[in-house]
Structure 1
Amino acid sequence: MGAAGLAAILGFLLLARDLVGDEAQEAEAVRELVVRLLGPGPAADFLVSVERALANESGLDTYSLSGGGGVPVLVRGSSGVAAAAGLHRYLRDFCGCHIAWSSSQLHLPSPLPAVPDGLTEATPNRYRYYQNVCTHSYSFVWWDWARWEQEIDWMALNGINLALAWNGQEAIWQRVYLALGLTQSEIDNYFTGPAFLAWGRMGNLHTWDGPLPRSWHLKQLYLQHRILDRMRSFGMTPVLPAFAGHVPKAITRVFPQVNVIQLGNWGHFNCSYSCSFLLAPGDPLFPLIGTLFLRELTKEFGTDHIYGADTFNEMQPPFSDPSYLAAATAAVYEAMVTVDPDAVWLLQGWLFQHQPQFWGPSQIKAVLEAVPRGRLLVLDLFAETQPVYSRTASFHGQPFIWCMLHNFGGNHGLFGALEDVNQGPQAARLFPNSTMVGTGIAPEGIGQNEVVYALMAELGWRKDPVPDLVAWVSSFASRRYGVSQPDAVAAWRLLLRSVYNCSGEACSGHNRSPLVKRPSLQMSTAVWYNRSDVFEAWRLLLRAAPNLTASPAFRYDLLDVTRQAVQELVSSCYEEARTAFLNQDLDLLLRAGGLLTYKLLPSLDELLASNSHFLLGTWLDQAREVAVSESEAQFYEQNSRYQITLWGPEGNILDYANKQLAGLVADYYQPRWCLFLGTLAHSLARGIPFQQHQFEKSVFPLEQAFINNKKRYPIQPQGDTVDLSKKIFLKFHPQPDSL
């Protein structure tokens, strides 16, 4: 595709954004952000303006910095988001500040540093996208407005201008289904519980761990209005949901002649919770339901003309005939443009790489060409590891966003493919006839591996890759802690070359450590890096500790690296125990098993309890706080417990969303490791074979007991992270050394 073709695509996309907007409103939104971030006193040293004319000749977001050195710093942006990104650039590169989920380091120099000769920067991308549909369940599900406000500020500072805004849609669907003749009980039976709504929205699940209380709908409507107001005040484009074709089974009672197809099951769930009903694209109900929903949605929330819908997410279509796939795609799009002639469809491209055996060239082409060029905006969701643009001729001319997925299930575990992330956007931009129009951050769960997200956000404003990642991560460490401490910098360089140096398709981003998996004799302990680098980074951070104990970010990182080291030690103990069992060495089995279950795991739980970000009680308390009654609180807490453990009633997606949290280690992982190793010892002592299926029958009640134990867990940290980390180091480090 030539420059003229790409320009035409961008012209279509511009329909989805109001370029006039309210410059004064966006500038005021950024000024308020500065006050929230820095406080009213320091904020007075920053002047903010939004000027559409500042955008470069291609209409791309641009910011300009000037002043400082005794006069106020002037931050100008072509949009509120651009101005916020410019502010972040100044704080990061001129003041040595750092802003992250776990904590922020905002020690401003006095006077504020001058910007020599001014600085103007334009993004190379139309869009900087954020979120995965799953993020709403794995990370956002229990958030209140205060937490959303923090996140939208983070988004603005990182230059995000396109993001999902999917709260409250079930309340709209309820109105539509009631209008169509479904009963309240039929609707209640259809919706999942809050922690599983992401998969209900994509048609994967229904019913599981529901229903949704009336209060949920009311609170989510209120929250969605505030989210949208704030996003729009910065000039962001919120992506609203649209109808993808999935309907409740009860629709067949109201419309007996409706043409629906029952899809296959998903995620090891049976059809009691899966096997969704999909309307045939030619059925008259398809446009009726699609337009009813979008009209009701946009009447409630307004629109910015970009809508998300996923018809075949991780579900194989009933027919592989390209004509069917084209018709199913066209039906979704036609329902959108009937209500909103300027509609652009945001599609997660995950389906094309998740089931490559089904999605051959003709099937992919049928979907991509069923929507007018420029009206389908594709998220190449896992592009840092398995890009799709390169094998689909740049999505057959449809614009796409190069995304970094990185994390599955919100797992803890140090992981990243920083070199692939660094090089990926430029490679996509330079791909022959590329239709890339943006970069994206699309993790299933946030709040982990913050260095990865810092790099990806920065790349949204860079025309070229970071030239030297070693220098970049060294600066990252210094900003993060507010001082350049040699041992801490050396630790981060080791992490860069090890845990953050994964490359190729073997890097899934999912933590498969034996620690967080239901034990068996077949578990893999393979990693892509040298474990000694993690242990050495741990040692170096502890050596740096006397100079950095006042830094919350340092304490967080020290805990996280110690957690990773303990995870590696658990793998080592597991290997020893497995070898001992296979060699029929009962003494060695008992020693290795005792170290794992009675030393390492209790020490890990105690360490995790020293930081609020690693408390099970925090996660469960967030759920309870949403409730308006004790019965609701118990229901939401059950949702939370299921998600991070069994996921389904029978362990259907067992431990997919595993976490390493204080309380979860002690009351979930440790008991089943005790049972597993005890069963192995019993088998060896009695001379009888170990049977995995029998163990799984025995361990399932333990896992269920955690779901139902009603225990309240602390929501305040206990103990000192540095002291606890040092204690673990001196006990368990494989090569003890002086600190």
Structure 2
Amino acid sequence: MEAVTVVAALGFLLLAGAEGSAGDEAREAAAVRALLVRLLGPGPAANFSVSVERSLAAESGLDTYRLSGGGAGARVRVSGSTGVAAAAGLHRYLRDFCGCHVAWSGSQLRLPQPLPVVPKELTEATPNRYRYYQNVCTHSYSFVWWDWARWEREIDWMALNGINLALAWSGQEAIWQRVYLTLGLTQSEIDEYFTGPAFLAWGRMGNLHTWGGPLPRSWHLKQLYLQHRILDRMRSLGMIPVLPAFAGHVPKAITRVFPQVNVTQMGSWGQFNCSYSCSFLLAPGDPMFPIIGSLFLRELTKEFGTDHIYGADTFNEMQPPSSEPSYLAAATAAVYEAMITVDPDAVWLLQGWLFHHQPQFWGPAQVGAVMRAVPRGRLLILDLFAETQPVYIRTASFQGQPFIWCMLHNFGGNHGLFGTLETVNQGPAAARLFPNSTMVGTGMAPEGIGQNEVVYALMAELGWRKDPVPDLGAWVASFADRRYGGFHQDAEAAWRLLLRSVYNCSGEACVGHNHSPLVRRPSLQMHTTVWYNRSDVFEAWRLLLAATPTLAASPAFRYDLLDITRQAAQELVSLYYGEVRTAYLNKELVHLLRAGGILAYELLPALDEVLASDSRFLLGSWLEQARAVAVSEAEAHFFEQNSRYQLTLWGPVGNILDYANKQLAGLVSDYYTPRWQLFVGALIESLVQDIPFQQRLFDENVFQLEQAFVLNTRRYPTQPKGDTVDLAKRLFLKYYPRWVAGSL
């Protein structure tokens, strides 16, 4: 069967499950006009005419926009088959006709006057049904402390980038609390089960319980309020929110209320013991499975309505109790049947990460058991890490179930310049051409956002392109021009260097997680090799600094200058660490003192000072988000400690140490720097006393520092200090000549 025929055969089920609550044309058009006012202001927004016309997609059934008009005295006319399509058309006009740029770090929206003419009516249809956004983990790594104002900006960004399918998982713990109380659990048993706010993603997937909790009553109330606003806005724009469903995980207290219930205690996860992990999984044949699943979904949809697509992950990073296809099919069918008991139109959205994470377990028979347990077209798979390790290839397009080609890119919300732009550029088109392809969309599924914006700009654009970008070098140069609001030769040259270096990772080694020694607990066995030539990073740094007289007024430029300065400092840490290690192994005390002194007492403090010049790189800003959610000082302290744990130890004893690492002013000075100073001091003491360096003893000592940072109540600045350009130049002038001379 040809690929287009396979997708067409699946399409009616997916469309039927997704179109019911898209909203009427007038409501969606009004929502896009309101977005336009928020983006540009009421005056400039008046120069645009926005309409939503379902008929635009009548022939293909795919989201379509149309652009026309503009010029002196004429309005730009933007039409879309949905609100999202109209917003994507608006973004296309702003980007390609006006040279504007919309991004997380800030937007460049200087409109030409008069508005440029669309010379010939432009109609564009997306090649796929879906443009998906989010990872279950994004809610914890990036969204956890957001208020409505921040959510509103994100939903605007989503609409402008054409996102029409996204998780909407806030507030679900409040619904679960109602269900558990109905089932007979006590409030204390429920409180003991939920994780803290910064770890809810893994509670939702069954990996964790208890850790970082309990959740205050105020949390539930605020999250319910947020969820209602999020859903109302998404739906008003024609987006399809994905609600959560029951995946089979239950609190241990269920066994007190129902002693005969058949549950399996799963294995531990992520270096946690069973005090916080080893979840209880309800047997698929147990009578309580459909009762709990339908109770939850009925209560959820009564509260929030539905768009008929639900997410659930039963075996995320957990090996199932049995590899027997019959068990896996039964476990899968139980989740789906609990959905359709409440919503006969239900479509299950499944993160395909489990097939990547344990490929030895998930052979063809095991994958097939899951795929065949749900009617074809009712299981929608996210090929979550397709830019690096696509699963659709080895599963023959998930054995006929539809899938979305996703770019995961970032793990833990790390800072660090990284991307696989060439692979990303080619990937969706290759997946569409795969024999009997069942691809129905593209997606962005980062664990954390707010970094490497060029990667997301490309991926969002590919959601509306049938073919890859023909010339990535030209594309990235125009990206820089739009981002900074004008052409600059040095800025373009810097971005071309970044494209061929940090943004040109390929192969299975590219996992999108920052392993720099800077953000890792020091040892003598640290990884320092990179896939690119560090000279390209240092030269790009020089070129951006050369562009400062012209571009320094651009907030996006200042952000990028700081980011590449941060990256250069990260490279320097690796190089100086190499010297420290070599000096120690060669027992060269003078060299060890010199390199260790520069790394721990000069370079890291200088980096912290640069980071402190921008509010987007402040630990204080990060922690203040957490504190702002609280209704009391005790809650503020609790939420802040949740946030500090996630950034550093992750668990009580460093269970997933430094996974969610960031490079923030305050975190560098009070967490990373003391660790490095202790490490250098321990190596010096080892040489002076002629005793071996003991990593285990160091780990015990450094844990005291790490834990002290988490438990500390020190407040950090929320306002920047110093000038980014001056501080970046100072660091450059100190270290760049040493790099060039090879005399670090």
TM bracket (short chain):
over 0.9
CA deviation vs aligned residue, 1:594-636 (integer Å, no higher than 9, x gap): 0001110000000000111100001100000000000000000
Does the 8 Å CA contact 1:123/1:463 hold for their aligned counterparts? yes
Secondary structure of the residue aligned to 1:733 is helix
Aligned residue in 1 for 2:152: 149
Deviation at 1:708, TM superposition (A): 1.2
How many residues in Structure 1 have an aligned counterpart in Structure 2?
738
Q: Distance in 1 between matches of 2:217 and 2:7?
A: 46
Does the 8 Å CA contact 2:23/2:235 hold for their aligned counterparts? no
Does the 8 Å CA contact 1:404/1:443 hold for their aligned counterparts? yes
Tell me the amino acid that sits aligned with residue 478 of structure 1. D
Q: Distance in 2 between matches of 1:729 and 1:480?
A: 23
User: Which of 494, 499, 507 matches 2:497?
Assistant: 494
Deviation at 1:361, TM superposition (A): 1.2
CA deviation vs aligned residue, 1:481-500 (integer Å, no higher than 9, x gap): 00100000100000000000
Residues 218-233 of structure 1: pairs in structure 2 closer than 5 A? 218-233=221-236
User: Which of 181, 186, 195 matches 1:192?
Assistant: 195
Does the 8 Å CA contact 1:56/1:122 hold for their aligned counterparts? no
CA deviation vs aligned residue, 1:312-365 (integer Å, no higher than 9, x gap): 000000111111000000000000001000000000000001011111111111
Aligned residue in 1 for 2:7: 6
Q: Distance in 2 between matches of 1:185 and 1:325?
A: 33
User: Which of 183, 201, 205 matches 2:204?
Assistant: 201
Aligned residue in 2 for 1:294: 297
**Cα-Cα RMSD:** 0.9
Point out 4+ residue stretches in structure 1 off by more than 3 angstroms. 1-5, 734-738
Deviation at 1:58, TM superposition (A): 2.1
Q: Does 1:117 align with 2:120?
A: yes
Secondary structure of the residue aligned to 1:669 is helix
Q: Distance in 1 between matches of 2:286 and 2:416?
A: 47
Aligned residue in 1 for 2:464: 461
Q: Distance in 2 between matches of 1:556 and 1:4?
A: 47
Aligned residue in 2 for 1:692: 695
Tell me the amino acid that sits aligned with residue 191 of structure 1. F
Q: Distance in 1 between matches of 2:498 and 2:737?
A: 18
Tell me the amino acid that sits aligned with residue 52 of structure 2. V
Farther-moved stretch of structure 1 (486-495 vs 7-16): 7-16
Q: Distance in 1 between matches of 2:614 and 2:439?
A: 40
Residues 11-410 of structure 1: pairs in structure 2 closer than 5 A? 11-18=12-19, 21-55=23-57, 57-70=59-72, 71-410=74-413
Tell me the amino acid that sits aligned with residue 69 of structure 1. G
Q: Distance in 2 between matches of 1:619 and 1:252?
A: 40
Secondary structure of the residue aligned to 1:275 is coil
CA deviation vs aligned residue, 1:277-311 (integer Å, no higher than 9, x gap): 00000000000000000000000000000000000
Q: Distance in 2 between matches of 1:384 and 1:56?
A: 32
Q: Distance in 1 between matches of 2:683 and 2:321?
A: 45
Secondary structure of the residue aligned to 2:77 is strand
Q: Distance in 1 between matches of 2:407 and 2:19?
A: 27
Does the 8 Å CA contact 1:240/1:306 hold for their aligned counterparts? yes
Secondary structure of the residue aligned to 2:560 is helix
Secondary structure of the residue aligned to 1:538 is helix
Aligned residue in 2 for 1:621: 624
Distance 1:734 1:508, change over 3 A: farther
Does the 8 Å CA contact 1:577/1:593 hold for their aligned counterparts? yes
CA deviation vs aligned residue, 1:539-594 (integer Å, no higher than 9, x gap): 00000001011100000000000000000000001000000000001111110000
Secondary structure of the residue aligned to 1:16 is helix
Tell me the amino acid that sits aligned with residue 193 of structure 2. Y
Structure 1: give runs of 5+ residues left out of the alignment.
none
Does the 8 Å CA contact 1:730/1:736 hold for their aligned counterparts? no
Deviation at 1:57, TM superposition (A): 1.7
Secondary structure of the residue aligned to 2:547 is helix
Q: Distance in 1 between matches of 2:552 and 2:585?
A: 45
Does the 8 Å CA contact 2:7/2:440 hold for their aligned counterparts? no
Q: Distance in 2 between matches of 1:646 and 1:457?
A: 33
Tell me the amino acid that sits aligned with residue 551 of structure 1. S
Aligned residue in 2 for 1:418: 421
User: Which of 547, 550, 569 matches 2:550?
Assistant: 547
Q: Distance in 2 between matches of 1:380 and 1:17?
A: 20
Percent of aligned pairs sharing the same letter: 81
Distance 1:362 1:712, change over 3 A: same
Residues 472-491 of structure 1: pairs in structure 2 closer than 5 A? 472-491=475-494
Secondary structure of the residue aligned to 1:188 is helix
Aligned residue in 1 for 2:611: 608
TM-score when scaled to structure 1?
0.99
Secondary structure of the residue aligned to 1:99 is coil
Deviation at 1:734, TM superposition (A): 4.5
Secondary structure of the residue aligned to 2:256 is helix
Aligned residue in 1 for 2:513: 510
TM-score when scaled to structure 2?
0.99
User: Which of 512, 529, 541 matches 1:538?
Assistant: 541
Q: Does 1:437 align with 2:440?
A: yes
Deviation at 1:6, TM superposition (A): 2.4
Does the 8 Å CA contact 1:56/1:62 hold for their aligned counterparts? no
